[in-house]
Amino acid sequence: MRLPPGWEPVEPTAFIEDELRREMAVGHVLYGRAFTAVARRSGNDDVAFLVDGSRLCIVHLTWAVETRPEWPWTVFVETLEEGDE
């Protein structure tokens, strides 16, 4: 995957993926789904994940255990450039 300016690869991915699992409450759009971290936006807490092997989403990690399913904020996108709009 070619990354647009402002995004960098995530390696290793396990730390970021574990953090997302820790933050999610039951009912979150990604709860119970397979996901892999693919990129991180420089300068903030946005991380791009490939979900179920085919869909791309951007998640704004909160670095806290959340109790509301709308957090961490998540949006599905076609491209990372779309997440910059």
Q: Containing domain of residue 46, as a range?
A: 7-84
Distance between CA atoms of residues 3 and 7, nearest Å: 6
Residue 1 within a domain:
no
Number of independent structural domains in the chain: 1
- Residue 74 within any structural domain of the chain: yes
Q: What is the value of pTM for the model shown?
A: 0.90
Residue-wise pLDDT tens digits, 54-69 = 999 999 999 999 999 9
Q: Is 10 in contact with 38 (CB distance < 8 Å)?
A: yes
Model pLDDT for residues 6-35, shown as the tens digit of each residue: 999 988 889 999 999 999 999 999 999 999
Identify whether 2 is part of a domain. Answer: no
Residue 66 lies in a domain: yes
